């Protein structure tokens, strides 16, 4: 599942981790959101699922409150080690620019379906139930919406 991730990167040149070295933990799954100042600033939202980090690029700051929907573009799976990565991806490399951890924590998976994912995040910035819904249109089928669930 990491082929695309590895294909895009030259690990001799980028400080990003190559992956494949992590042990499967029995702990709660983790999530991380990395602020990525690449050609366009965005936030990479990553969830630990089946031994990899499922990843979405969110063009604007992830919402802390309900009522704000963000576009989230599905990107390639990343290795679990990536959750610790902060640093500068060099000019000319894939995703060149500064990466810093914006939020991280654990989560509980409430729902995991092809078109809908619901998680309860326990981070510093984001807490509570969050929803990812796959949209029908645009972005080559990789477009999702990301938002905080209203508490009813
Ligand atoms: Mn990114």
DSSP string computed for 44-56: EEEEEETTEEEEE
Q: pLDDT at residue 24 above 60?
A: no
Cα 102 to Cα 127: distance, rounded to the nearest angstrom: 13
Q: Which residue has the higher pLDDT, 27 or 133?
A: 133
What token pair was written down for 44?
Answer: 């990479």
**Per-residue pLDDT tens digits for 28-60:** 999 999 999 999 999 999 999 999 999 999 999
Percent of the chain with pLDDT over 70: 95
pLDDT, tens digit (0-9, with 9 covering 90-100), for 120-142:
999 999 999 999 999 987 777 79
CA of residue 115 to ligand 1 center, whole Å: 22
Place of tokens 């990899």: 52
On whether the pTM is more than 0.75, the answer is yes
25 CA distance to ligand 1 middle (Å): 25
Under 8 Å between Cβ of 135 and 125: no
Does position 119 have pLDDT exceeding 80, yes or no? yes
103 has a pLDDT exceeding 90: yes
Q: Whats the size of the chain, residue-wise?
A: 152
Please compute the mean of the pLDDT values over residues 59-65 and round it to a whole number.
Answer: 97
Q: How much is the mean pLDDT over the chain?
A: 93
Separation of CA 19 and ligand 1 centre (Å):
16
All residues with CB under 5 Å from ion ligand 1: 36, 44
């Amino acid at each position: 599942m990491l082929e695309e991730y590895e294909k895009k990167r030259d690990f001799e040149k980028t400080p990003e981790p190559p992956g494949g070295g992590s042990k499967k933990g029995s702990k709660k799954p983790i999530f991380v959101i990395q602020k990525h100042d690449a050609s366009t600033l965005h936030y990479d939202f990553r969830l630990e699922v089946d031994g990899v980090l499922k990843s979405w690029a969110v063009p604007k700051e992830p919402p802390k409150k309900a009522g704000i929907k963000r576009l989230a573009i599905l990107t390639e799976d990343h290795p679990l080690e990536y959750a610790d990565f902060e640093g500068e991806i060099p000019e000319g490399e894939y995703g060149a620019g500064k990466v810093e951890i914006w939020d991280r924590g654990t989560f509980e998976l409430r729902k995991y379906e092809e078109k809908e994912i619901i998680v309860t995040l326990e981070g510093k910035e984001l807490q509570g139930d969050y929803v990812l819904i796959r949209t029908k249109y645009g972005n080559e089928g990789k477009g999702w919406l990301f938002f905080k669930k209203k508490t009813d």
